[in-house]
Structure 1
Amino acid sequence: MYLENLVFDALDPQRVGRFWEAAVGGERLTDEHAGFETRLAIPDGPTLDLCFQRVPEPPSAEPRIHLDLYGGQRQENEVERLIGLGARRFDIGQGEVPWVVLADPEGNPCCMMGERAAYEDTGPIAGIPLDSADPDRDATFWSWLTGWTPSTQAPRSLRHSSRRGPVLELCDELSPKGSVKNRMHLDVRLDPGEDPDDIAVAIAKRGGREVTAQPNGLPWRTYADPSGNEFCVLPASP
């Protein structure tokens, strides 16, 4: 298995998708009424697709997953660039911190990070922080799920084997996951020869659970990690 997609729920996928495409320098894949997709290819590293799917519900819960963007020495310039694309500064009670909190055109928070050794060679997306009830346990779970391995520069964080691309960070949750679906989730794709039913059993043994099997006849299956965060398992590509 490997991590393939970062998926956003959106009232207006085109508006939010075009913002993020410009923010990270993505390559357009699809632009349809139901959704928008753009691809971020990290040189000599992973390829991640940012997918925006249309939903009727506005955001209704504090996000448990978001994106950290890399500004480095150009942090403030990048903040202003994103504001020009449709972002706004966002106060979530962060106080005095070395990063800048922004919200995208639909209010999804993101952070613009400055220089940090852990973000070397990440590209435009520095990190993917994910709330966890037990970061050590969930780091092991997500390492098995994605094939990413522990970072030597940040605790309870994972990186692609190339050591390029974003850092997946397991963070202590402020409160347990409720019943509301996360506004953003991750998709992993099976490698050829991997059996979906075997993977379902392996996920359950590691503390995850299946939420829905092949919803609406679609080929993927939806799960929750041990902390309740949703993710999808996609079939192997032909």
Structure 2
Amino acid sequence: MYLENVVIDAVEPQRLGRFWETALGGERLADEPHGFETRLAVPGGPILDLCFQRIPDPPPDPRAASPRLHLDLAGGTRQEEVVERLVGLGARHLDIGQGEVPWVVLADPEGNPCCVMEDRETYADTGPVAALPLDSADPDRDAEFWSWLSGWTDVAGLAGRSLRHPSRRGPLLELLPEQGPKATEKNRLHLDIRLEAGDDPDAVADGIAGRGGRELHPAWGDLPWRVHADPSGNELCVLPARPQGR
């Protein structure tokens, strides 16, 4: 099994999806009324699909409820240029009380916070997305959970714990100490894991539970995937293996 998708809730999936596709240089996979998908392929590293799914509600005010998962974008020595380009595409500057920090906080066209990072050695070879910061009640515990689930392994970083694709390319998954326990509302962004041929969905569900996660049963109808939460309550989906030959 492997990490396949970053899923983003959107009131207007096409508008938001096109913004991120242009911002990141993605390859379009789907453009439908209820969803939009674009692919971010890191040469020699992971392939991550950004999937935008329609929901009716806009994101909450990030000053009142900061997102538990967001995108950190690579800025490096071109940070100001990257910020200017994103603003030109429809992003805006955002004050969430960050104060004087070396990164720049923006909001995408629907108000989701993202950061354009300064130059850091740990972000070499990430591609346009430097990191996926995820709030955690226990970064050591959750790093073990996500490493088992995704196959990503420990790397040095400034977060509580950081994981990366075995190629050592692509973004870091950063487990950050949470400011408070997760609210009952679903995260605006979540991660999808894809099973591979031979993976047993029930055994994976048991493995998630045995490592502190749990299976969720939302009233979303009959879905081909299963919904879980990590040990800190962050939602994730486990997708079935693709049919052979696809």
TM-score by length of 2: 0.95
Q: Would you say 1:218 and 2:218 are equivalent positions? A: no
Q: Which residue of 1 aligns with 2:189?
A: 184
Q: What is the match of residue 57 of structure 1?
A: 57
| Partner in structure 1 of residue 135 of structure 2 | 131
Q: Aligned match of 2:123 in 119, 125, 129?
A: 119
State yes or no: 1:171 paired with 2:176.
yes
Question: Can you list the C-alpha shifts for 1:97-132, whole angstroms capped at 9, x where unaligned?
Answer: 000000000000000011101101000000000000
- Rounded to whole Å, the distance in 2 between the matches of 1:152 and 1:133 is 20
Matched residues in 1 for 2:10 and 2:97: separation?
24
* 1:199 corresponds to which of 193, 199, 204: 204
Q: RMSD value over aligned CA atoms?
A: 1.2
| 2:8 matches 1:8 | yes
1:5 alignment partner AA = N
Match of 2:37 in 1: 37
- 2:239 is matched with 234
Q: 1:192 to 1:215 in 2, by over 3 A?
A: farther
2:221 alignment partner, SS class: helix
Listed as ranges, the gaps of 5+ residues in structure 2 are none
Q: 1:109 aligns with which of 101, 113, 120?
A: 113
Of 152, 156, 159 in structure 1, the residue corresponding to residue 156 of structure 2 is 152
Task: Report the Cα offset of residue 215 of structure 1.
Answer: 4.4
| In 2, Cα distance between equivalents of 1:136 and 1:123 | 26
Q: CA deviation at 1:159?
A: 0.2
- % identical equivalent positions: 70
Distance 1:169 1:4 in 2: 17
Matches within 5 A, 1:75-114: 75-114=79-118
Q: TM-score, normalized by length of structure 1? A: 0.98
Partners of 1:121 and 1:9 lie apart in 2 by: 28
For 1:190-217, what per-residue CA distance to the aligned partner results, in whole angstroms no more than 9, with x for missing partners? 0111111111111000000001279422
- Structure 1 counterpart SS, 2:122: helix
Structure-2 residue corresponding to 1:141: 145
Q: Aligned equivalents of 2:138 and 2:167: distance in 1?
A: 26
| Count of residue pairs brought into register by the alignment | 238
Distance 1:161 1:79 in 2: 30
Question: Match for residue 76 of structure 2?
Answer: 72
The one-character-per-residue Cα deviations of 1:68-103 (angstroms, maximum 9, x if unpaired) are 000111100000000000000000000000000000
Distance in 2 (CA, whole Å) between partners of 1:197 and 1:146 is 17
Aligned counterparts of 2:183 and 2:106: Cα–Cα separation in 1: 24
Q: Equivalents in 1 of 2:195, 2:218: separation in Å?
A: 15
CA distance in 2, matches of 1:188, 1:74: 32
- Structure 2 residue 31 is the aligned partner of structure 1 residue 27: no
Distance 1:80 1:9 in 2: 25
Question: What residue is the counterpart of 2:17 in the other structure?
Answer: 17
